[in-house]
Amino acid sequence: MPTDASEELSKKLREISVAEFFEKNRHLLGFDNPAKAILTVVKEAVDNSLDACEQARILPEIRIVIKEARKNFRILDTSGAEIAQLVLEDGNAELRLGDNIIKPIEKKEGKNEIIYLFSYENLNYKFKIIKKENEELYEFVRGKTELKILKLPQDRYKIIVEDNGPGIVKEHVPRVFGKLLYGSKFAGGMQSRGQQGIGISASLLYAQLTTGKPAKIYSRTSPSKPTYYCEIRIDTTKNEPIILDEKFIKDGFRDHGVTIELEIEGKMISGSHSVDEYIYQTTISNPYATIIYEKPDSTKLIFKRTVEELPPLPKPIKPHPHGVELGVFERMLKLTDSRTISGFLTNEFSRIGSGTADQLCKLANIKPNTKPKELNHIQIERLWKIMQTFNFMKPPTDCLSPIGEENFISGLKRKYKADFYAATTREPFVYRGNPFQIEVCMAYGGSLPQNESAKILRFANRVPLIYQASSCAITKAIQKIDWKHYGIDMQNNLPFGPIVIAVHMASVWIPYTSESKEAIDPYPVILKEIKLALQDCARKIQRYIAGKRRREEASQRIGLFEKYIPEVAHSIAYLSEEDEKKIKESLEKMLKKSDILKNIQEESD
Amino acid sequence: MSIEVLKKLGKKLINDIQKNENPSLDVPIRTLSNITYDPKTKLIKLGNKTAKRYLFNVAHIKKFVQTIETAAISKELIEVNKHLNLREVYYKMRRTIPDTNINIVDEQEETNKAIEDLELITGLSREQLHFNADRNGFAAGNIIIKDRGHIIDWSKMGSGGWAIPSNVEEIEFKKVDAKFIIYIEKAATWERLNEDRVWEKLNCVIICSKGQATRGIRRLLQRLNLEHNLPVYVLVDLDPWGIYIYSVLKFGSISLAHISESLTIPGAKYLGLTPDDVEKYGLKRHIEKYKDVDLKRLEEVSNYEWFKHDKRWQLFFSKMRELKGKVEIAALTERGISFISDSYLVEKIKNKDWIE
């Protein structure tokens, strides 16, 4: 029997909402630091947009905008001491002198410049922004003295993600974005990018925690309807959305789609963990998506789709009996509408027909017409154990949506200019009752860097995996291969040289190592499948490298032959008493003909 | 006509080019694998295996160029009626292709081989192609010859003997009194025999070529053997290399198997030291232990087709193996300065103590 104290504790625990829990454990969702947070927000929003478009059978066009939300400046006098701070936000300037916040008395906007005038204790201050092509210059004048103005590193960003998806009806908008663990995907059974329905709400929560600003959402479901606009916050104790403002907007929005605008504390970085890298990789795994990316420095990158056809919509499937965990199985028994255990098994699982269901019941010594809710814990466990060892048919694989060899190559070409591309899509396989499929695409040579480690790109259900490379099944599989065997150099256990290796795992349920979905758990079956796919694709690269080497050798040979020709021509001319020049020309002509070259190669091999 | 053969070779290459085929030469293979021994004629013969040598082939081009260049040089020599020594041919071909670091030839061995190949390709001898080898043999004895208009008496050549040219085709034998020829491997032994005037005492000719007999000497020996019925005795050291000198004279060589007929003396007799002589003359303490190369060569030589089925020679080889070392003919000096001239040769020839 539980004590009074433990009962009290469990009551308290139940009162902590999911939202509150994640507020305290935000690293679990990928918000460990400002740099990673900005990536996570972009990623969650883009993943949702792509999923929505695909499910509505719309070729996605997604616009991502990252803007500096607030600019901070320090004003220094000639001795270098700070005399004031200046904040610029949404076109409004604020001068901070000690504890005093001073608003401008006048704002003058010119063609390429903006001037703010301040006045405080009989002194005039002038702040001037000069706009140049790719940068802004700042001037600050106190009275008649020009002072030094320093721009502080950016700490707040506005992130806007806009899609041309089906839009979300007004009634659902607040809950989709403002309630954790809410969403259509949570029902499961279909391959999609999001799995738990927490990502985007967690982003809202993060914005709320770091800047206090609400999320702004625009949604339109059809051209005949107005755009619904709302600003929402999350009530963290209740895990419920709070609508701060809502209205319908008539014009100025695309025919259908969703736009989400969040302001967060973040840091833009460059390199392998950057937002840029995530976007590049997203263009690779989604060649049918057009992606427009506007960076904080206002550069605009447009990635036009290279494939004009959406991948087939994966079919939802019921769980396979081998994949189900005992706890989940128990919960399913409690929630089912089926009236008999036999009906429950056939309705809730794939690959169980009524005959198999009766057989399972018989083996578990349970009457097939028992009501599911009447099973006791011992019976449940017995039935579950029998299900785990029973030889079922493998799960159907039409629930998977691989990128496809051709499209994967077309995707990789969007970013990497190489001499040769190859791809391999394996047949679907099963781990713990879950079907999955591995694909590998490689690029070799061309403008890829010669003296760097191979570029490794990891994808799970078309989502680029940016962090936690070393604990990921993909990295581990790559390390297990002897790349030298395929004519590829190695350094520190990894392939080295002008090669890009992209690996994609498609599955209804990807086993991530953590909730932030950064790495694939290295199950032995998954590792093995990845390895086989890598080896198959590497063989294609190997053939290319061997061919390339042969071609290089051939051209060296031709060089050698060319040098000898004048000598040979002279001797033959003397022997045959024919024209030396003619012989020389004929020999040179012979060298240029490709069929001769081919014979030459065969003869010397 | 040699010149026509060479021109035809050039036309063949032109023909290849016109047919858009990789220009090639058919070179008979000169290795043991393409050698047959004919027990009837007792001659080593070249088989009919040939190898194609292509111009446009990285592995062949260098040799191809060397071969056709020697052909061109030969044609020029015949046209102006001059001869070039092998060394001179090497210098004529030794150059670097402009703007490259490619040499047409790096060593004389390459031009020598190219000329041998050219002989095989054209069926013409080195002499017909106007190439000469170094002379490195000398003769003394009761023979008078005519060479380029001069009468030369081999018995009046003093201590040096008559130097044998590489081409002996034009030599005329004016007076042949000698009854046989002793071919000697080592110059030192020849000098001993010359000082002892053995050729006078035994009425013979003594000829030396410092090791393996050159072509000119082989031809000279063959001509004397054929034209004047002089038997040829071969005086060599007791080691596999000495046996092979005898073997080349008698059966022919692997690299010149294509002209065996014009060089070999099937009746040549081995007059060198035998394992039994080592016992007989008490030379045991002069046995010089075989090195690995010696043993390897002994096995090779004893396995040649022309020795393999000869019981007498097989017994000889097995006795050589038992000796575990080689013995030089000069070891006989121990028995007396002129022991070889006064006793060894006299006894051997008198007792017909040779091997055929």
pLDDT tens per residue, range A102-115? 999 999 998 889 99
Q: Per the domain annotation, does A331 fall within a domain?
A: yes
Q: Kindly state whether residues B114 and B182 are assigned to the same domain.
A: no
Would you say residue A198 has pLDDT above 80?
A: no
Identity of the residue numbered A315: K
pTM above 0.95, yes or no: no
Say if B71 is an interface residue toward chain A (CB within 8 Å): yes
Contacts of residue A602 in chain B, CB cutoff 8 Å?
none
Closest CA to A535 of A499, A488, A481: A481
CA-CA distance, B156 to B78, in Å (whole number)? 35
Residue A373: CATH number of its domain: 1.10.8.50
Mean pLDDT score of chain B: 91
Cβ pair A332, A188 in contact under 8 A: no
CA-CA distance, B11 to B30, in Å (whole number)? 25
pLDDT tens per residue, range B244-277? 999 999 999 888 888 888 899 999 999 999 999 9
A563/B57 Cβ within 8 A: no
pLDDT tens per residue, range A501-521? 999 999 988 899 887 788 999
CA-CA distance, B164 to B174, in Å (whole number)? 16
Nearest to A567 among B17, B18, B97 (CB): B97
Residue A214: CATH number of its domain: 3.30.565.10
Listed range (A10-19, A241-250, A365-374) with the worst mean pLDDT: A10-19
Say if B303 is an interface residue toward chain A (CB within 8 Å): no
Distance from CA of B215 to the nearest CA of A (A): 27
Nearest to B20 among A573, A578, A590 (CB): A590
Alpha carbons within 13 angstroms on the beta-carbon side of residue A597 total 18
pLDDT tens per residue, range A139-176? 999 988 889 998 888 788 999 999 999 999 898 888 88
Nearest to B20 among A575, A576, A596 (CB): A596
Contacts of residue B97 in chain A, CB cutoff 8 Å?
563-564, 566-567
CA-CA distance, A296 to A66, in Å (whole number)? 5
Distance from CA of A571 to the nearest CA of B (A): 6
Contacts of residue A604 in chain B, CB cutoff 8 Å?
57-59
pLDDT score of A182? 58
Q: Kindly state whether residues B172 and B320 are assigned to the same domain.
A: yes
Q: Kindly state whether residues B166 and B312 are assigned to the same domain.
A: yes
pLDDT score of B63? 94
pLDDT band of residue A595 (cuts 50, 70, 90) is low
Whether the ipTM is more than 0.90: the answer is no
Q: Which chain A residue lies closest to B71 (C-alpha atoms)?
A: A575
Q: Per the domain annotation, does A99 fall within a domain?
A: yes
Q: How many CB pairs under 8 A join A and B?
A: 88
Beta-bridge partner residues of A141: A126, A146
Contacts of residue B114 in chain A, CB cutoff 8 Å?
none
CA-CA distance, A21 to A16, in Å (whole number)? 7
Distance from CA of A452 to the nearest CA of B (A): 34
Distance from CA of B64 to the nearest CA of A (A): 9
CA-CA distance, B48 to B38, in Å (whole number)? 14
Question: In the listed set B106, B132, B158, which residue is the last one of a domain according to the structure?
Answer: B132
Would you say residue A2 has pLDDT above 50?
A: no
Nearest to B17 among A560, A575, A583 (CB): A583
Q: Kindly state whether residues B204 and B288 are assigned to the same domain.
A: yes
Beta-bridge partner residues of B112: none
Question: In the listed set A100, A121, A151, which residue is the last one of a domain according to the structure?
Answer: A151
Say if B59 is an interface residue toward chain A (CB within 8 Å): yes
Q: Which of A553, A564, A597 to mutate to test the interface with B (most CBs of B within 10 A)?
A: A564
**Sign of torsion, CA A360 A366 A370 A372?**
negative
Tally of structural domains, chain A: 4
A586/B18 Cβ within 8 A: yes
Cβ pair B52, B62 in contact under 8 A: no
In the block, residue with structure tokens 């509150």 = A20
Closest CA to B121 of B304, B258, B285, B280: B258
Helix axis angle for A405-415 and A275-285, nearest 10°, is 150
Angle at A99 between CA A95 and CA A104, to 5 degrees: 25
pLDDT score of A604? 42
- Touching A: B residues 5-24, CB under 8 Å: 6-7, 9-11, 13-14, 17-18, 20, 22-23
CA-CA distance, A227 to A247, in Å (whole number)? 8
Beta-bridge partner residues of A457: A502
Q: Per the domain annotation, does A156 fall within a domain?
A: no
CA-CA distance, B348 to B342, in Å (whole number)? 11
pLDDT score of A4? 56
Contacts of residue B20 in chain A, CB cutoff 8 Å?
590, 593, 596
Q: Per the domain annotation, does B238 fall within a domain?
A: yes
In the block, residue with structure tokens 């009761």 = B142
pLDDT tens per residue, range A31-83? 888 999 999 999 999 998 998 898 899 999 999 999 988 888 999 988 888 88
Closest CA to A457 of A219, A337, A285: A285
The single-letter DSSP state of residue A511 is: -
Alpha-carbon separation of residue A543 from A399, A475, A485, A535, A548 (angstroms): 34, 23, 12, 12, 9
Contacts of residue B122 in chain A, CB cutoff 8 Å?
none
What stretches of A446-523 show up as alpha helix (H) in DSSP?
473-479
B104/A574 Cβ within 8 A: no
Closest CA to B134 of B94, B92, B109, B165: B165
Cβ pair A176, A200 in contact under 8 A: yes
Q: Per the domain annotation, does A8 fall within a domain?
A: no
CA-CA distance, A193 to A52, in Å (whole number)? 10
Question: In the listed set A239, A268, A297, which residue is the last one of a domain according to the structure?
Answer: A268
CB atoms under 10 Å from CB of A197, counted, come to 18
A591/B56 Cβ within 8 A: yes
Nearest to B57 among A566, A571, A600 (CB): A600
**Sign of torsion, CA B257 B262 B268 B270?**
negative
Identity of the residue numbered B265: I
Mean pLDDT score of chain A: 87
Cβ pair A464, A285 in contact under 8 A: yes
Token couple for A509: 């349920």
Length of chain A: 605
Question: In the listed set B102, B132, B162, which residue is the last one of a domain according to the structure?
Answer: B132
Residues in chain A whose Cβ is within 8 Å of chain B: 557, 560-561, 563-564, 566-568, 570-578, 583, 586-587, 590-591, 593, 596, 599-600, 603-604
pLDDT score of A64? 97
Distance from CA of A486 to the nearest CA of B (A): 27
Tally of structural domains, chain B: 2
pLDDT band of residue A605 (cuts 50, 70, 90) is very low
Contacts of residue B77 in chain A, CB cutoff 8 Å?
none
Cβ pair A107, A115 in contact under 8 A: yes
Nearest to B7 among A575, A583, A586 (CB): A575
Q: Which chain B residue lies closest to A580 (C-alpha atoms)?
A: B14
Distance from CA of A572 to the nearest CA of B (A): 5
Is residue B91 part of the annotated active site? The answer reads yes
Q: Per the domain annotation, does A423 fall within a domain?
A: yes
Beta-bridge partner residues of B53: B25
Q: Per the domain annotation, does B9 fall within a domain?
A: yes
pLDDT score of A543? 93
Q: Which residue has the higher pLDDT, A277 or B254?
A: A277
Q: B14 lies in which domain range?
A: 2-132
Of the listed B90, B91, B244, B344, which one is catalytic? B91
Distance from CA of A601 to the nearest CA of B (A): 8
In 3-state terms, what secondary structure has residue A102?
A: strand
Q: Which of B11, B18, B56 to mutate to test the interface with A (most CBs of A within 10 A)?
A: B56
Q: Kindly state whether residues A168 and A235 are assigned to the same domain.
A: yes
Contacts of residue A593 in chain B, CB cutoff 8 Å?
20
Q: Kindly state whether residues B120 and B146 are assigned to the same domain.
A: no
Q: Per the domain annotation, does B356 fall within a domain?
A: no
pLDDT score of B143? 96
Question: In the listed set A389, A417, A437, which residue is the last one of a domain according to the structure?
Answer: A389
Cβ pair A370, A364 in contact under 8 A: no
Q: Kindly state whether residues B270 and B163 are assigned to the same domain.
A: yes
Q: Kindly state whether residues A220 and A240 are assigned to the same domain.
A: yes
Question: In the listed set B107, B132, B157, which residue is the last one of a domain according to the structure?
Answer: B132
Q: What is the mean pLDDT of residues B122-150?
A: 90
Q: What's the 3-state SS for chain B?
A: CHHHHHHHHHHHHHHHHHCCCCCEEEEECCCHHHEEEECCCCEEEECCCEEEEECCCCCCHHHHHHHHHHHHHHHHHHHHCCCEEHHHHHHHHCCECCCCCCECCCCHHHHHHHHHHHHHHHCCCCCCCCEECCCCEEEEECEEEEECCEEEEHHHCCCCCEEECCCCCCCEEEEECCCEEEEECCHHHHHHHHHCCHHHHCCEEEEECCCCCCHHHHHHHHHHHHHHCCCEEEECCECHHHHHHHHHHHHCCCCCHHHHHHCCCCCCEECCCCHHHHHHCCCHHHCEECCHHHHHHHHHHHHCHHHHCCHHHHHHHHHHHHHCEEECHHHHHHHCCCHHHHHHHHHHHHCCCCEC
Beta-bridge partner residues of B51: B27
Q: Kindly state whether residues A418 and A532 are assigned to the same domain.
A: yes
